Amino acid sequence: MQTSMTPLPNTIIEQAAAWHAHLQSGEVSDSEQAAFAQWHAADPAHAEAYTRMEALWANFEQVQADPAKKAVQAVLQPTAKRRSKLAVRTLALAAVVLATGWLSQTQPARVMMADYRTGIGEQRVITLADNSQLTLDTHSAVNISFNDRVRHVELLQGKLLVTVAKDKRRPFIVETLEGTARALGTQYQVTRHRKVTQVTVLESSVEACASKQSSCVTLHPGDATRIHDVRVEPVMVANVPQETAWTHFKLLADDMPLATLLKELQRYHRGHLYVDEAAISDVHVSGVFALDDTAHTLKVLADTTPVVMTQYTPWLTIIRPAK
């Protein structure tokens, strides 16, 4: 297995887990926030450990191991007083156990141990052994498996653009939990949303199939579809420039609901964007927005739309309709 991840000392993983648990408690003072910022900046390994912890817990709701899930939920239950140090240490220990492989077959842990992955706000271009290229979007993860019969890429989360090197002997397959996108020589994009996979074709053709049913459609340039585990939706026309603008760290919006734009921006933004979608449902935006400078994009949106954005910490921005 090829991997881009560097092993981290358990002490740093424990510190990251403890900080993550405390920051989620809602009881962080300004001095504690400053202490966290100092710890985060003190060592690149601290930042990497915290990024991995965020990625792990961002997907923790998918974990199916009930005993582990119940144990963590018990620790997270609010109490009348400040959460005890023992509770935080217990949560830290639970996170360390998860991160070091106890639940190695769960989706969050598999993401952490993927062959290739990107952090929040990061993109990466990977040249494979057959000279095919993968462009990974922010917060994405893949496993690679090539043999004499097939070239196989497993997309665990996020989005990728693949440019396939021609090889008539070996089909190129991108697989997710929902299904597969199979090609011989082409360029196409695969995006994994929650329980839905979208396939968009730029060149040649791709066969998209559901994982649990013999349901397939053939896509040609400019086509797209969405795959569910038991069905494939009818072919639709894709806005290819809009769909692939992310490869240049751009987001193209054409009368896009602001809430939809903020969801996409959240994938690139390290802090949490809290927004009441119903309250801003009538706000739409158009334009070209930067994904590699989310602070600037948020300022532009605050200046040009009828919303108020209040940053409480570097990790929390609340977005409300203007009164």
Mean pLDDT throughout 167-195? 92
Are 52 and 3 in contact by the 8 Å Cβ rule? The answer is no
CATH class given for the domain over 116-242: mainly beta
pLDDT tens digit string along 34-73? Answer: 778 888 888 888 888 888 877 766 654 444 444 444 444 4
Q: What is the mean pLDDT of residues 299-314?
A: 90
In this predicted model, what pLDDT tens digit does every residue of 111-151 receive, in sequence order? 778 899 998 899 999 999 999 999 999 999 999 999 999 99
* Across 28-32, 173-177, 260-264, least confident range: 28-32
Place of tokens 């921006």: 265
- Please tell me the predicted confidence (pLDDT) of residue 27: 61
Domain with CATH 2.60.120.1440 in the chain: 116-242
Entry pTM: 0.68
Check pLDDT > 50 for residue 105.
no
Q: Which amino acid is at 18?
A: A
| Token code pair at residue 248 | 């240049």
| Residue 167 per-residue DSSP state | -
Residue 249 has pLDDT above 80, yes or no: yes
Segment 103-118 shows an average pLDDT of 70
Q: Where in the chain is the domain with CATH 3.55.50.30?
A: 249-321
Task: Give strand ranges (E) for the chain.
Answer: 116-117, 124-127, 133-136, 141-146, 151-163, 172-175, 179-183, 187-193, 196-203, 206-210, 216-219, 223-228, 231-232, 236-237, 250-257, 272-275, 284-290, 307-313, 316-321
Which fold does the domain 249-321 belong to in CATH? Phage tail protein beta-alpha-beta fold (3.55.50)
96: Cβ–Cβ under 8 A, 6 or more apart, which residues? 10, 13, 14, 17
Give me the mean pLDDT over the 209-221 stretch: 92
